[in-house]
Homo-oligomer: A and B are copies of this chain.
Amino acid sequence: MAYRKTPAEIRRLEAAREHLVVCATEVVADVGWAQASVTAVADAAGIAAGSVYQHFSSKSALAVEVFRRAAQREVDVLGEVLEGEGDPADRLRRGVEVFARRALENHGLAYALLAAPAEPAVGAERLAFRRRYRALFASVVEEGVAGDQLPRQDAAITAAALTGAIGEVLVYPLSTSAAEDADLLVAGLTSVALRCAGAAP
């Protein structure tokens, strides 16, 4: 054997892959999935189009990886808050708030994760992550119902409603003044989310 990858070489390759994913994420956040061609992504990462296939077997595989990384971060953050300390309604309020703030801070990425047109593989992944959001919300709601802080309700439906409501409010520009003021928007969104779950105002 005249050649074997040294640890340094392996690290270099992993770093290259990492760099590709990061750049691809930026491109997607900027221009959306549809415009994020292999060429565009490769250009952004400073490599040739063909080199993308050193790291991923297909464009879809790269897209899925980009989606998973970004979506996982959001699930983690949301889960952290929703499963943390405090009574359920308050955790819900803080969860919505933190989710909203992060989405507003990185609007392009949030749109890509929540709603932007995407190829089927990414669509499937999105579905899977929506299920996870719903599961997180459902737990909190169930807990609130069990502890009598929230009225009796179908937690799964409430969780789906919360997921949809938050997405819609954040993703599409609102015509009200709240759209210009992030604080007002977040306040309005947390209010509506709490009402959704039947939490006392």
Binding site for B on A (CB under 8 A): 34, 117-118, 120, 123, 127, 130-131, 151, 153-158, 160-169, 172, 174-176, 178, 184-185, 188-189, 191-193, 195-198, 201
Identify whether the interface residues of A are mostly helix, strand, loop, or mixed.
helix
Known: A153-B192, A197-B195. A164 touches B168 (CB 8 A): yes
Known: A161-B189, A195-B196. A34 touches B156 (CB 8 A): no
Number of copies: 2
Q: Which of B34, B127, B168, B189 contacts A172 (CB 8 A)?
A: B127
Q: How far is the CB of A166 from chain B (nearest CB, A)?
A: 7
A188 touches B157 (CB 8 A): yes
B189 touches A176 (CB 8 A): no
Known: A192-B196, A195-B197, A196-B192. A160 touches B185 (CB 8 A): no
